[in-house]
């Protein structure tokens, strides 16, 4: 049985479809074909599996982002990308699982 945190940090198929369509199926960093399975805020840090925290990256860019190669530059780029999509309502602090306050998915 999965914990509540694990469930909320997983990326549901519905979210993958939303993000894939939003990002046109392309890596937002290099433009190659990609998959919508990269958390902006890492799962290990409680990053939620919601569209506001997930982007499409190709395997190379996803590897570079996850493993620290160009991490800071890519993090800033992804932050700006997500801000450009969601505007002033995008808030990093709302993208992290908080077991005391819970989370409600807003479409």
As given in the structure block, the two tokens for residue 63 are: 């590897």
Instruction: Give yes or no for residue 26 having a pLDDT over 70.
Output: yes
More confident position, 27 or 106: 27
Q: Can you list the domains of the chain with their CATH numbers?
A: 4-87 (1.10.30)
The predicted structure's pLDDT at residue 100:
57
Cα distances (angstroms) measured from residue 52 to each of 34, 58, 62, 69, 89: 17, 18, 17, 23, 10
DSSP 26: B
The predicted pLDDT at position 106 comes to 45
Q: Strand runs (DSSP E) across 2-83, as ranges?
A: 35-39, 54-57
Beta bridge partners of residue 95, listed in sequence order: none
Instruction: For residues 6 and 77, give the distance between their C-alpha atoms in angstroms, rounded to a whole number.
Output: 26
CB atoms within 10 A of CB 45: 11
On the CB side of 84, how many CA atoms lie within 13 Å of its CA? 10
59-101 residue pLDDT tens: 999 999 999 878 999 999 999 999 999 999 999 999 998 765 5
């Amino acid at each position: 049985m999965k914990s509540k945190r694990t469930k909320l940090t997983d990326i549901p198929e519905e979210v993958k479809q939303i993000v894939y369509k939003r990002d046109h199926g392309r890596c937002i960093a290099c433009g190659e074909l990609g998959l919508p399975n990269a958390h902006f805020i890492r799962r290990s840090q409680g990053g939620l599996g919601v569209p506001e925290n997930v982007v499409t990256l190709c395997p190379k860019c996803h590897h570079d982002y996850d493993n620290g190669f160009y991490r800071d530059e890519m993090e800033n780029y992804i932050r700006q990308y997500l801000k450009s999509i969601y505007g002033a309502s995008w808030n990093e602090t709302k993208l992290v699982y908080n077991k005391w306050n819970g989370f409600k998915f807003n479409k």
